[in-house]
Amino acid sequence: MINIAVLGYGTVGSGVVEVINKNHASINKKAGDEINIKYVLDLRDFPGDPVEKVLVHDFEVIINDPEVDIIVEVMGGVNPAYTFSKRALEAGKSVCTSNKELVAQHGTELLEIAKSKDINYLFEASCGGGIPIIRPLNSSLTADEIDEVTGILNGTTNYILTKMALEGSDFDDVLKDAQQKGYAERNPEADVEGYDACRKIAILSSLAYGSHIDYKDVYTEGITKISATDIKYAKHLGTSIKLLATSKKIEDGFYAMVCPVMINERNPLYSVNDVFNAIFVHGNVLGDAMFYGSGAGKLPTASAVVADVVDCAKHLHRNIMMNWSSQPLELMPVDHVKNRFFVRVKGSLTGDIGDVENVFGEVETVSLPDAPDEFAFITQEMCEADFAEKAEKLGTVISRIRAWI
Ligand code: HSE
């Protein structure tokens, strides 16, 4: 029997207990031993819930029990999750987590401790919810040198953008609706400002390129400035606006950014809607691959966590090598990154296109009948720094969205 302890009986924690109970026989068969939930740690009580029998309020009970081999950390947040995970690993207990904040911030250190103790720190559920992506990056795509990872990595913002496109509504209204339905947190900042996607692309990129990427170095823009008018233009152009998290190798360097991007139907991420996530990966021998599925939610996330528990059980005293060295990977400044830009400007197409062409050269233009005081254009490909300079020179820019079209 392999004893595990679950830290946190919130959405994911209760999902982990549910998944282990629901698929007990098949999970045990795949793990090669019986997985027994010996403890669940939470500060709260759960009267009437069967979890009461294994509920403890004190982490010391778990850490001091030599029978516990695997700890599931699904508390969220950096502290006390960091302290608990570190102590667990130092005590020779493997840790499985869905905690993207913790993995992005302390992943390298925790991986090194796990390696030194010949145990494991696994975090499949930290990116893309139930979608297998960490394990494929670490074990299936090892023949490749990966040069791009681009994903829709946040379900909340994808739901909001999908709704905005379907209903023509403004960001604030859709956010309120998403909060009422439980798809967005009461404090939605981490999702809507892109911070959550930023941490996830830092984790995926660290694994894909084998060196540590500091999430604080990733250029990040959220979706709060996307308006119903932007969406109208996007539809008119046959495109959709998605919050993309991307990292790419260009020339001799890597860059990473999170920002809204206008994409058309030729892009494989175009049809990824609602709370779904998808991750596109390009390798130098594989070519393209895409991983799609349920990117958030209780059971999909728990599915990934429990798969890690099974992996830990199969490698109880054997470290699974992770392609994520503590050597930092310095990202190039996004100033050099080239994109096309969709730009909205004040004025009229007939009266002011000359000024635009004087600054930006040849552009594609578009105007909407119900936005008479403005028009929009799409630039040729240019680097971020060039765009910023030209936009300032023109002086009439309302907003801009990167366009991969
Ligand atoms: N808030 C996250 C999302 C949860 O919306 O994708 C899963 O990490």
**What residues have CB less than 8 Å from 189, skipping those under 6 apart?**
195
Tens of pLDDT, residue by residue over 342-377, are: 999 999 999 999 999 999 999 999 999 999 999 999
pLDDT for res 129: 95
13 lines ligand 1 (CB under 6 A): no
- 53 CA from centroid of ligand 1 (Å): 30
- 200 CA from centroid of ligand 1 (Å): 10
42 lines ligand 1 (CB under 6 A): no
Residue 235 CB burial class (10 angstroms; 0-12, 13-18, ≥19): middle
| Rounded CA separation 392/387 (Å) | 9
- 114 CA from centroid of ligand 1 (Å): 26
| Residue 70 Cα to chain centre, angstroms | 25
Q: Is this structure's pTM higher than 0.95?
A: yes
154 lines ligand 1 (CB under 6 A): yes
| Rounded CA separation 231/164 (Å) | 7
* pLDDT of 182 higher than 90: no
pLDDT for res 96: 98
Tens of pLDDT, residue by residue over 236-286, are: 999 999 999 999 999 889 999 999 999 999 999 999 999 999 999 999 999
129 lines ligand 1 (CB under 6 A): yes
pLDDT for res 251: 83
The catalytic residues are 200
- What token pair was written down for 29? 């068969």
- 185 CA from centroid of ligand 1 (Å): 9
| DSSP track, 86-121 | HHHHHTT-EEEE--HHHHHHHHHHHHHHHHHTT--E
In the block, tokens 């020179």 appear at 393
- What token pair was written down for 250? 């260009």
Which band of pLDDT confidence, cut at 50, 70 and 90, is reported for residue 183? confident
Amino acid at the residue 44: R
Pocket-testing residue among 12, 127, 154, ligand 1, by greatest number of atoms within 8 A of Cβ: 154
- 384 CA from centroid of ligand 1 (Å): 28
In the block, tokens 């900042």 appear at 189
Q: Yes or no: say if 274 and 225 are a contact pair by the CB < 8 Å rule.
A: no
196 lines ligand 1 (CB under 6 A): yes
**What residues have CB less than 8 Å from 91, skipping those under 6 apart?**
63
Q: Yes or no: say if 147 and 283 are a contact pair by the CB < 8 Å rule.
A: yes
Tens of pLDDT, residue by residue over 110-142, are: 999 999 999 999 999 999 999 999 999 999 999
* pLDDT of 62 higher than 90: yes
* Strand pairing report for 287-294 and 325-328: unpaired
Q: Whose CA is nearest to atom 4 of ligand 1?
A: 296
295 lines ligand 1 (CB under 6 A): yes
pLDDT for res 79: 96
Closest of 242, 230, 223 to residue 172, by C-alpha: 223
CA torsion through residues 89, 94, 99, 100, sign: positive
Ligand 1 atom closest to 197 (CA): 6
pLDDT for res 196: 98
Ligand 1 atom closest to 127 (CA): 8
| DSSP track, 273-342 | -TTEEEEEEEETTTEEEEEEEE-SSHHHHHHHHHHHHHHHHHTTTSPPP-S-EEEE-PPPPGGG-EEEEE
